[in-house]
Amino acid sequence: MNHHIKPAFILFLCLTSCFTGSVVAQISTETPIADYIFETIEVPGVDFLEVTASNDFGDYAGNTRSLDGEKTIGFTLTDGVFTTYDFPGSVNTFFYALDNVGKAAGHYKDADGLYHGIILENGELRQYDFPGAAETHIYGLSDETGALSGNIVDAAGVFHAFSGELTITFPGAVNTYGDFINAAGAVVGSYVDANGMPHGYIRNPDGSFTTIDLPKMPNLEFLFVNTITDFGVIGFRAKAANDILRSYILLPSGTLYEVQLPGSVITVVRNVNQDGSIIGYYDLADGRRHGFVGRPKTQPNREDFGSIFSKHLSKGLNMLSVPLKPTAHMTARSLAVKTGATTVIAFDAANQGFVGWTPNAPDNGFPIEGAKGYIVNLPQARAIVFTGTAWTNQTQAPTAPITHTTPIWAFVVSGHLEGVHHFDGYIVKVRNHRTNTIMTSHVRGNYFAVATADLNYHSVIEVGDTLELIVTDAQGNIVSEVFNFRVNAANLEDAVMNVTLDSIGAPKRSRLLQNYPNPFNPETWIPYHLAEAGTVSLSIYDTTGKLVRTLPIGYQSAGFYQSPERAAYWDGRNVFGEPVASGVYFYQLITPSFQQTRQMLILK
């Protein structure tokens, strides 16, 4: 089901009822008042819209009712388009996580009452079961690493939290639940102690735990911690016996306040964004449920949320510097996730060239530092909010982003190698046939990203350009065919061409290539490719068919024999060691399964 919707914007004054709590460290007894402007998220014809997740670009995910009202199903609200998802054969389907590239995650309940994780990617749902777990409940999805987080149930029926491949059990707990992980690696969740009492927790990056409690709220039925920002702002919900469900924001300073929308029966905060805004859902007395976004009326306290800097980036290529030092180390990957970029390019001062990174890389790429410029290409214009603290030892202030969408002044060719198992020291060389410019990149794992840019914003690539790619090993030997790819309009829009280079180290077919130089005097090299290992014979004949010389080769492994160090060498002499006369000669390569002859010319 798809709906194109326009959110209805309704303004409320946030009423906050603030009280004390306990977090291992102390919670302040002060009573701050937080003012928000709330935007209600509505979809025409939908009375139950439970918003549980958002990303940096104003997209949402959550849960709604099926058309017959019989079950819960997941939804995404992306670029104003409302789409529902129902896992085949499920009793209910739930979404609780959404990242910046549009991937959603959650879980479904099967006919036997068991829960399985689900991931939505490229419009397709797939099941994810944590290895060895009887049940899997997904609640979080990391933008930085892609790691999932949530709960698992073991064979004995005990709950444990998980994040990525890590299983988390709070010491002495009967059950441990997980929800979300921030960029610094802090995981939040809840646990039930041996007395049956619920508590919240933070599993710190060093493995230690911090407990979150509400000592002035006795007889708690549950306390669920939903989210933690990079600066440590926590959102959670709790319910005491004979009371309504209540939501809270806990600041790093220890200040605790309740969030409640006027006129709502309950208010649930599911996420706190880095800029201090909150998202979640609320119920009305008539049973309708709506999503909301709450934005602070005033600039949040720096101590709690860090400094905030907003930039507008245009569609296409932008040059930017990161204005604030983030709480967690930023890399090319995290910058791409934050901006939605198709590629990130940095200047490598040591080698006086450019290095590229694309989202299909196997690693996080180069570090992002202060007072340095980076090139990002965006598929659409976006306002990006940076949070953090001032950079230290910064030699210059960050500049506003510079945008030049045409011509294409920066470009990346990236991809993967297929063939031999180890590519240590391999280099990919790219040549533009039109401009004859050459770019190179070292291979990492089996991935490469060759980048070029013109900081005067002149064109470096055009539609129709043919790019020639070749791979060499650590010794400079050619280990691939010559690949040619033609640039199209989609490549220019992404500022990226993604390719796959196959048969590295082993040619698809045997070939005898033209000798070089040709004409020659007095020596030449004869390159060839072997698709399979075997005994190789290479003989030279004159125009009468008389054998002039057989070059000693013998048994050879499959591979590319093109460089002077590997190609066959002829010094222009016959079998008796005498220089041959000027003229045309023929050279013939013979293997057990291949034979080919070519001609060459010697001029004296």
Q: Which CATH class is domain 309-501?
A: mainly beta
Would you identify the CATH topology of the domain 511-602?
Immunoglobulin-like (2.60.40)
pLDDT (tens digit per residue) in 393-444: 655 444 556 655 568 999 999 999 998 878 989 999 999 999 999 999 999 9
Is pLDDT above 60 for 22?
no
User: 436-443 contacts: CB < 8 A, separation 24 or more?
Assistant: 439/353, 439/413, 441/355, 441/356, 443/417, 443/471
pTM: 0.73
Predicted pLDDT at 207? 94
Predicted pLDDT at 386? 79
160, 156, 157, 121: which is closest to 137 by C-alpha?
Answer: 160
pLDDT (tens digit per residue) in 489-516: 999 999 999 999 999 988 989 999 999 9
Q: How is 422-478 classified by DSSP, letter by letter?
A: --TT-EEEEEETTT--EEEEE-BTTEEEEEEE-TT------TT-EEEEEEE-TTS-B
Predicted pLDDT at 362? 92
Is pLDDT above 60 for 346?
yes
**For 60-75, what is the mean pLDDT?**
96
Is pLDDT above 60 for 450?
yes
Q: Which residues of 137-169 are buried (b: 16+ CB within 10 A; e: fewer)?
A: bbbbbbbbbebbbbbbbeeeeebbbbbeeebbe
> Under a CB-based contact definition with an 8 Å cutoff, are residues 556 and 495 in contact?
no
Give the integer Cα–Cα distance in Å for 309 and 325. 11
Start-end of CATH 2.60.40.1110 domains in the chain:
309-501
Start-end of CATH 2.60.40.4070 domains in the chain:
511-602
Is 83 exposed, middle or buried (CB count within 10 Å of its CB: 0-12, 13-18, 19+)? middle
CATH superfamily of 2-305: TolB, C-terminal domain (2.120.10.30)
Give the integer Cα–Cα distance in Å for 270 and 278. 8
- The position carrying tokens 């602070």 is 296
**For 384-391, what is the mean pLDDT?**
79
**Cis bond leading into 218, ω under 30°?**
no
Listed range (18-32, 288-302, 376-390, 393-407) with the worst mean pLDDT: 18-32
Side-chain half-sphere CA neighbours of 153 within 13 A:
11
Q: How many CB atoms lie under 10 A from the CB of residue 224? A: 20
> Which residues are bridge partners to 419 per DSSP?
504
> Under a CB-based contact definition with an 8 Å cutoff, are residues 304 and 253 in contact?
yes
Q: How is 577-596 classified by DSSP, letter by letter?
A: SPBPPSEEEEEEEEETTEEE
561, 595, 590: which is closest to 480 by C-alpha?
Answer: 561
Give the integer Cα–Cα distance in Å for 136 and 189. 15
Side-chain half-sphere CA neighbours of 451 within 13 A:
23
Listed range (39-43, 250-254, 296-300, 488-492) with the worst mean pLDDT: 296-300
Start-end of CATH 2.120.10.30 domains in the chain:
2-305
Please, what is the Cα angle at 443 between 439 and 449, to 5 degrees?
50
Predicted pLDDT at 404? 55
pLDDT (tens digit per residue) in 119-167: 999 899 999 999 999 999 999 998 878 899 999 999 999 999 999 999 9
Q: Of 131 and 33, which is predicted with more confidence?
A: 131
